[in-house]
Chains A and B, each alone.
Chain A
Amino acid sequence: MNSFVRKTRAFTGSFYALMLAYRAEIYLWVLAMVLPFIMMAVWSTAAQGGGLSKDPVGYARYFLAVFIVRNFSVVWMIYDFEWHVVEGRLSIHLLRPASPLWHYVTAHIAEQMARAPFFAVIVILFFCIFPQAIWVPTPFAIVGGVVCIYFAFALRFVLQWCFAMLSFWYERAASIEQLQMLPYYFLGGFVAPLSDFPEPVRKFAELTPFPYVVNFPARILIGEITLQSPEFHRGLLIMAAWFAGLFVLASILWRRGLKHYSGQGA
C-alpha cells in the first residue's frame, strides 16, 4: 500500500477514534459556532425593508453557507502546537521520520469527520424550520464549493501555522493569533457579506486572505460565483498566492524555531 495512503489511514483512523471519545465536547463546539445564525437573523430582518444586496432568503442562504464553510475550515492547531512546544511534547513528533504536520492535519480531518453527523442534523433542522431557504446547488456549486472549502481550510491552516511558530519564541502564541480574529470575522464575511461593504473596504478586503476562507466558498455554494465568473479565477489565484507566501514563511519560521527549541521538560 502506498505509504501516503497508509499514513493517512493510520493517523486519521486513530484520531477519529480519539475524537469519538470526546464527541460531547465536539458537539458543544458545533453549537458554539452559531454566530452565522445570529447574523442571519439580524440581516434577514434588516433586508425586509429592502435596499440591501440580498433579500431575506438570500441572507439566510448566505449565512447557512457561512456556517457550512466555517464547520469544515475551522483550525485549532495553534492550541495543540503551543502546548506541545511549551511542555516539550513536540519532541515526540520530532523523533519520528515523518513531518509533524501529519499529526496536526489528520487530527483536524478526523475531528471534521466526527463532527459531520451532528452538523448535518443542524442543517436539516434549519431547512425544516426555514423551508424557503432550501436551494438546489448546481454540480459546480457542489464540486467547486467543496474544493474551495478545503482550499480555505488549507489557507486557514497555513496562516495559523505561521502564528503557531511563534510558540518557539513566545509562550502564548495563541494569544497573538487572536489579533487576526477581528479581520477574520469582519473581512471574512462573517458579520456581513462583502457585497454589503463600501466599495473601498471591499476592494481592500479582497487583497487579504480573509474573504477567501469564508465569503468566497460560501458564495460558490449558493451559486453567486460560477465557473464562468472572473471572480472565481481571480479568487483562486489570490488564494494560491497567499497560500504559497504563507507556506514559505511558515517553513522559514519552522526551521528557525527548531534551532530555538529546547524541548523543555522532555
Chain B
Amino acid sequence: MSMIEAHGLAKSFRVSASEPGFINAFKHFFNRKYRHVEAVKPSSFTIQPGEFVGFLGPNGAGKTTTLKMLSGLIHPSAGEVKVAGHVPFRRQHAFLRKITLVMGNKQQLIWDLPPNESYRINAAVYDIPDDELARRVGELSEMLGLDKQLTQPVRKMSLGERMKCELLACLLHRPEVLFLDEPTLGLDINAQVAVRNFLKRYNEKYKATILLTSHYMADITALCPRVILIHQGSLFYDGALAGIVDRFAPYREVKVDLSSDTTREALEPFGQVQSLEGRAATLTVRRDQLRTTVEKMLATLPVADLTITDPPIESIIGELFKQGAVKEPAASGGGK
C-alpha cells in the first residue's frame, strides 16, 4: 500500500486584486475585486513507504501548498488524497501522530525558552513517557550533534542550531511521514551538510517516508533518488533524478585537453563552447550528434584527452524553470 496517494489534487485561492493609488484604493474599498489563483492544478502521484522524494519547483510553483494539503493544514479544492491511510484534512489525531511538517521559515520552538521546554510540551501532547523522552532526546541530539544548546534559550542560538533543535522537536514522536519544507533555508554550508546527513540517517534508520522541498540542489542530489518537478501548479516530471538528464537535457558535456593552443573559433564548429582555459575546453554537444562530433574532433584537433559527461543536474533544472514554460525536447528519455 502506498504511503501517500494523491489523485487530481488541486487547490485554488481567491485573492483580492487592487491597483495602486489613492483613487483605486478608494474604489477597492467599496468594490472589491478578486481573482482566482490556481496554486496547484489537478495532480496525481503516489509515494511508497520509506521513499525519499525531492519536490522541486521555483518560488510560487505550488510546492508548499501541496505540502500543506498533504499534512492536513488546508483543504484541497478538488481531488482526493490519502496519507498513511488517512484523509489529511480531517486532522484525526491518529493521522497527526504519524506525520510531521518541518518548515524552514516557521518554527514551533518557544523563542525565549530552552528547547527542552518545547520538548516537554511535545512529549505531553504525543503521550511520550518521561524516560522515553529522555532516551529519544539523547539519541536525536547525538545524531544532530546537539548538546548544551538544549538548555539555552532558542533566541541565543545560531540559525543552524535552531534548525537542528526544531528537527528534534518535529521528530520526537517518530513520525512515519516527514514533510520537509526548505529545512536548510539560510543555513551555512556546514549546517546544511549536518542536516542533510541527519535526514539520510533518519530515513535509513526509521524507514520514514520523506517528501523534501529545497532550493539547494545539493540537498536533492544527496538525498533524493526520485524527484517530482512542479511548475506553475502543474507536475511535469515524476521519476528518477538521473532520468531528468535523459529527458530534458538533449546534450552532453565534452571536455577536451589539447596538446597545442587553439582558439574559440576553431572549436565552435563542434558544439557550444562553455569554456576555454589554456588548452582545456568544455563544449556542449547534442546527444544525437555526439558520436560523429567526437569522431571529427579526434580527427581534426590535437586531442590529448577527452571525456564525455552529463551536464550538472542543477543547471538542467535551473534552465527548465528559467524557461517559464516547460518545453519537452525531442529526444526520448526516462522518467514517467
Taking a contact as CB atoms under 8 Å apart, the answer to whether A14 and B118 are in contact is yes
Q: What residue in chain B is nearest A92 (Cβ atoms)?
A: B108
A265 and B105 alpha carbons, distance in the complex (Å): 8
Taking a contact as CB atoms under 8 Å apart, the answer to whether A91 and B103 are in contact is yes
Taking a contact as CB atoms under 8 Å apart, the answer to whether A92 and B106 are in contact is yes
Taking a contact as CB atoms under 8 Å apart, the answer to whether A263 and B125 are in contact is no
**Of B21-29, B92-100, B199-207, the one touching chain A:** B92-100
Question: Which interface residue of A9, A14, A88 has the most chain B CB atoms within 10 A?
Answer: A14
Partner of B96, one of A11, A95, A259, A262: A95
Taking a contact as CB atoms under 8 Å apart, the answer to whether B73 and A95 are in contact is yes
Taking a contact as CB atoms under 8 Å apart, the answer to whether A91 and B73 are in contact is yes
Asked whether A97 is an interface residue with its Cβ less than 8 Å from the other chain, the reply is yes
Instruction: Note all chain A residues with C-beta closer than 8 A to B71.
Output: 95
Also in contact, A10 and B101, with CB within 8 A (given A89-B106, A262-B74): no
Partner of A88, one of B93, B96, B106: B106
Q: What residue in chain A is nearest B117 (Cβ atoms)?
A: A14
Please report which residues of chain A, range 200-249, place their CB below 8 angstroms from some CB of chain B when the two chains form the complex.
none
A interface residue count range (under 10 / 10 to 19 / 20 to 34 / 35 or more) = 20 to 34
Taking a contact as CB atoms under 8 Å apart, the answer to whether A10 and B127 are in contact is no
Instruction: Note all chain B residues with C-beta closer than 8 A to A98.
Output: 93, 125
Taking a contact as CB atoms under 8 Å apart, the answer to whether B13 and A97 are in contact is no
Taking a contact as CB atoms under 8 Å apart, the answer to whether A95 and B100 are in contact is yes
Asked whether A124 is an interface residue with its Cβ less than 8 Å from the other chain, the reply is no
Taking a contact as CB atoms under 8 Å apart, the answer to whether B105 and A17 are in contact is no
Question: Which interface residue of A7, A10, A17, A95 has the most chain B CB atoms within 10 A?
Answer: A95
A259 and B74 alpha carbons, distance in the complex (Å): 7
Instruction: Note all chain A residues with C-beta closer than 8 A to B93.
Output: 97-98
Taking a contact as CB atoms under 8 Å apart, the answer to whether B106 and A21 are in contact is no
Instruction: Note all chain B residues with C-beta closer than 8 A to A21.
Output: 112-113
Taking a contact as CB atoms under 8 Å apart, the answer to whether A263 and B124 are in contact is no
Taking a contact as CB atoms under 8 Å apart, the answer to whether B75 and A13 are in contact is no
A7 and B108 alpha carbons, distance in the complex (Å): 17
Question: Which interface residue of A13, A21, A263, A265 has the most chain B CB atoms within 10 A?
Answer: A263
How many A-B residue pairs have C-beta atoms within 8 angstroms? Tell me.
78
Partner of A263, one of B74, B91, B112: B74
A21 and B71 alpha carbons, distance in the complex (Å): 33
A112 and B113 alpha carbons, distance in the complex (Å): 19
Asked whether B72 is an interface residue with its Cβ less than 8 Å from the other chain, the reply is yes
Please report which residues of chain A, range 83-102, place their CB below 8 angstroms from some CB of chain B when the two chains form the complex.
88-89, 91-92, 94-98, 102
Instruction: Note all chain A residues with C-beta closer than 8 A to B117.
Output: 13-14, 17
Instruction: Note all chain A residues with C-beta closer than 8 A to B106.
Output: 88-89, 91-92, 265-266
| Interface size, chain B (Cβ < 8 Å) | 34
B55 to chain A, nearest CB (A): 16
Quick one: CB contact mask for B117-160 with A, threshold 8 Å, 1 for yes? 11011111111000000000000000000000000000000000
Taking a contact as CB atoms under 8 Å apart, the answer to whether B74 and A261 are in contact is yes
Instruction: Note all chain A residues with C-beta closer than 8 A to B103.
Output: 91, 266
Instruction: Note all chain A residues with C-beta closer than 8 A to B125.
Output: 7, 10, 96-98, 102
Partner of B73, one of A3, A13, A263: A263
A265 and B106 alpha carbons, distance in the complex (Å): 8
Asked whether A33 is an interface residue with its Cβ less than 8 Å from the other chain, the reply is no
Q: What residue in chain A is nearest B96 (Cβ atoms)?
A: A97
Also in contact, A11 and B124, with CB within 8 A (given A92-B106, A95-B101, A97-B96): yes
A45 to chain B, nearest CB (A): 44
A9 and B64 alpha carbons, distance in the complex (Å): 34
Taking a contact as CB atoms under 8 Å apart, the answer to whether A10 and B13 are in contact is no
Partner of A18, one of B113, B124, B127: B113
Quick one: CB contact mask for B71-83 with A, threshold 8 Å, 1 for yes? 1111100000000
Asked whether B110 is an interface residue with its Cβ less than 8 Å from the other chain, the reply is yes
Taking a contact as CB atoms under 8 Å apart, the answer to whether A266 and B75 are in contact is no
A79 and B22 alpha carbons, distance in the complex (Å): 29
Instruction: Note all chain A residues with C-beta closer than 8 A to B99.
Output: 95
Also in contact, A10 and B75, with CB within 8 A (given A97-B96, A265-B106): no
Instruction: Note all chain B residues with C-beta closer than 8 A to A261.
Output: 73-74
Asked whether B68 is an interface residue with its Cβ less than 8 Å from the other chain, the reply is yes
Taking a contact as CB atoms under 8 Å apart, the answer to whether A14 and B68 are in contact is no
A26 and B61 alpha carbons, distance in the complex (Å): 44
Taking a contact as CB atoms under 8 Å apart, the answer to whether B91 and A94 are in contact is yes
A-B contact pairs, 8 of them (CB 8 A): A7-B124, A10-B121, A10-B123, A11-B124, A14-B120, A261-B74, A263-B74, A266-B105
The 3 closest A-B pairs by CB, nearest first: A10-B124, A97-B93, A97-B96
